[in-house]
Structure 1
C-alpha cells in the first residue's frame, strides 16, 4: 500500500515572542529555533510516524529542494523518519524553500511567511508525471495527498484523474486558492479548517447561499459547519460512498461526513493542559486520518485517532518534531 505526498519542503526559521512587533518597531524576542517543515514534509512525516508498526503502508514524497545545507537536512529528516525520497529533485539553480514563523507564546498562535524557493519549481509536465506515477505494478490501494504550497497541485490532480483513476485523492487546500468547481469533484477526501470551508462555500455557491451558510456557522459553529459538510459532500464529491469532507474547528473539535452518511457528525477536541505551538497541527491531523483510512478504519475512528494525535502535537514545539508516534496515541 503506497501513500504519496505531493507537496512542499521548507526549512523553518522560528522566533518565539511575547507579542508581534508593530510596523517599524524592534522588539526583543525570547528565543530562536530552526525546524524542518513545509506542509508536504509535515504530512509525510506524520504518515510515517503515525502508521501502525504492523501495517504495510509505504510513504513517499514528491517535491523539490535546493542543493544547499537546508535541502540536505530535509532529505535526512525524511529518511530518518522512514519516508522514501527517491522522487525528490535537488535543484542547483534555486535555494530550498524557507518559512519564517513567529510564535506568540502567550496564545500559541503563529504567523508564517513563506519563500517558495525550490518549491516553486514543482510543476511537472505529463511526461514527468508518467515517471512519478508509473502505471505498471500499481498497488491495490494508494492515496495521493495534496496541499496548495506548490504550483503543480491542480494540474497533477487533473492528470491523475484522467490517467490513474484508481488513486484516491486527499486534498488539503491550504493556503486557499480559487479553483473551478470541477476540481473539487475529483477529490476523495477533502480536509479543511473552518476558514477554508467558508472560502470553498464562497467560491462554489451563489452569494446568497454562501452568506446564509456563513451566518449559520457564526451563530452556532458546530451546527453551521455540519450544514456546510452536508452541502459540500452532496454537491461536490462524486467519487463514491467513501469520499468525504472533514472540517477541523480547533478547540471546538471536528465535523465530518462521508457520502454514505445521512448527516454530518461531530467529535469534540481533546482537552490539553497548555498549548505550546500549533504549527503543524493540521498536518499531523491529516497524516493521522490517512494512516487510519489506509488501515481500513471508518472515517469516525480515523478522525478520533487524529484528534488525539494533534492534541499531543500542539503541546510540543516545532512542526515535524512535534508529531507523535503511533504507540503514543494508543
Structure 2
C-alpha cells in the first residue's frame, strides 16, 4: 500500500496481524439470546503485529510492517493509524477477496469481557507475504513475530530472517502449546507471559523460580534467549550462559491490554541501538509499565522521550 511518509531502510521489521477492535461497553454482559442496551462504542486499531510496530516506531526506530488488510473501509483506519506513528506500510497487501481482521469486544462495567476474533485477511498470510518480507531483510536488524497469522508463515519468516542474519523475536501470543520443534532454533528471543510459558512448557509458571525453569526449558529447545514476563513480578531472562531477573516498575495500572506489545517493541528498539542485555530488559520492562498506565492499545504505547524521562526518574 502507498506509504504516507517516504520509506527509508527499516531497521525493525514486523510480520504479523492488524485488527480493528470494535468495542461495546455495557452495564453487564448479555446472556445467550438476550439484547441489552450499551453505553459506548468505539473502534480501536489493534492486532499484535500492528501494536508492536507502533511501539517500536514511537521509540524512534525506523519500522516497517508486512501483512495484510482486507478490501474494506476498516483497512483505511488500520493503515492511517500505523502511518500516524511513522510505521512504513508500503509492504502491506490489500486483499480484496476478504475483510480486514476484526475483534468484537463487549466489556461490562467490572472489566469482564467477551471477545470474538475474525482473522479476516490475517488468516490468508502465506509464502507470498514472506517473499515481500525477504526483500527488506537485508537492511533490517530485528524481526518481530507473533501468532495471530498462520503458523506456517511465521516459521517461514523466521527461517528467512535467520538466513539473513536478522535477530528474530517471537511473542508466542495468543497462547498455544503446539509450536513445532523446528521453530525454536530459529528464534533468538522468545517472550511469553506466564500463561504462554505454562502452555509451551507444561511447567506451571506462578513465581520467579518457575519462570526460570520454563525459560531454561525453552532454551533447551534451541531458543537463544527466553524471557518470561511476570507482570507485577517483573521479568526473568535465561540463556545457556546466564539468568537475569528484573523487578517490575511499580505503577498504578489502568489497562494492561498492550503492555506485552510495548515490551516487545521496546526490546526490538533496544537491540537495534546495541543495548546490553540488562539495559534491554530494563527498557522493555519500563515500556510495559508505562503502557499499563493508559487505556487502549496503540494510544497507550509510550514514545522515546516519555520512556527515557521515566527511566531517569528511577
TM class by smaller structure: 0.7 to 0.9
2:226 aligned with 1:245: yes
Q: CA deviation at 1:5?
A: 0.3
Deviations 1:62-100 (A, max 9, x none): 011112221011111111111111110112111111112
**CA distance in structure 1 between the partners assigned to 2:40 and 2:234 by the alignment:** 31
- Could you tell me which residue of structure 2 aligns to residue 95 of structure 1? 99
Counterpart of 2:299 in structure 1 is 321
**Alignment partner, residue 5 of structure 2:** none
Which residue in 2 is equivalent to 1:209?
none
Aligned to 2:76, what secondary structure does the other structure show? helix
Structure 1 unaligned runs (5+)? 52-56, 203-212
Change in 2 beyond 3 A, CA 1:319/1:165: same
| 1:84 and 2:54 correspond | no
Q: Look up the match of 1:301.
A: 279
SS class of match (2:89): coil
Counterpart CA distance in 2 for 1:190 and 1:248 is: 10
Match of 1:5 among 14, 36, 41: 14
Label 1:329 to 1:132 Cα distance change in 2 as closer, same or farther (>3 A): closer
Q: Secondary structure at the match of 2:287?
A: helix
Equivalent in the alignment of 1:236: 221
Aligned residues between the structures: 296
Corresponding position of 1:31: 40
Q: Per-residue deviation at 1:109?
A: 6.1
Q: TM-score, length-normalised on structure 1?
A: 0.82
Check 1:110–1:169 CA distance in 2 against 1; reply closer, same or farther (3 A cut): farther
Conserved in 2, the CA contact under 8 Å of 1:105 and 1:276?
Answer: no
C-alpha displacement at 1:279, in angstroms? 1.7
1:161-176 alignment, distance < 5 Å:
161=162, 164-176=163-175
CA contact (8 A) 1:8 1:40 kept: yes
Check 1:144–1:36 CA distance in 2 against 1; reply closer, same or farther (3 A cut): same
Aligned CA distance change for structure 1 residues 109 and 142 (closer, same or farther; 3 Å): farther
Q: Residue 121 in 1 paired to residue 124 in 2?
A: yes
**8 Å Cα contact 1:226-1:265 kept in structure 2:** no
For residues 1-330 of structure 1, the aligned pairs below 5 Å read 2-17=11-26, 19-51=28-60, 57-103=61-107, 105-106=109-110, 111-125=114-128, 129-134=130-135, 138-139=138-139, 142-151=141-150, 152-161=153-162, 164-177=163-176, 178-202=178-202, 213-214=203-204, 217-218=205-206, 221-233=207-219, 235-237=220-222, 243-261=224-242, 264-273=243-252, 275-330=253-308
Q: How big is the shift at 1:276?
A: 2.5
Q: CA deviation at 1:20?
A: 3.6
Please give the alpha-carbon distance, in whole angstroms, between the structure 1 residues aligned to 2:304 and 2:217: 33
CA RMSD, Structure 1 to Structure 2 (Å): 2.3
Q: Secondary structure at the match of 1:251?
A: helix
TM-score, scaled relative to structure 2: 0.86
Deviations 1:229-254 (A, max 9, x none): 22322x1235xxxx311111122221
Distance verdict in 2 for CA 1:327–1:109, change over 3 Å = farther
Alpha-carbon distance change, 130 to 96 in structure 1, aligned in 2, over 3 angstroms: closer
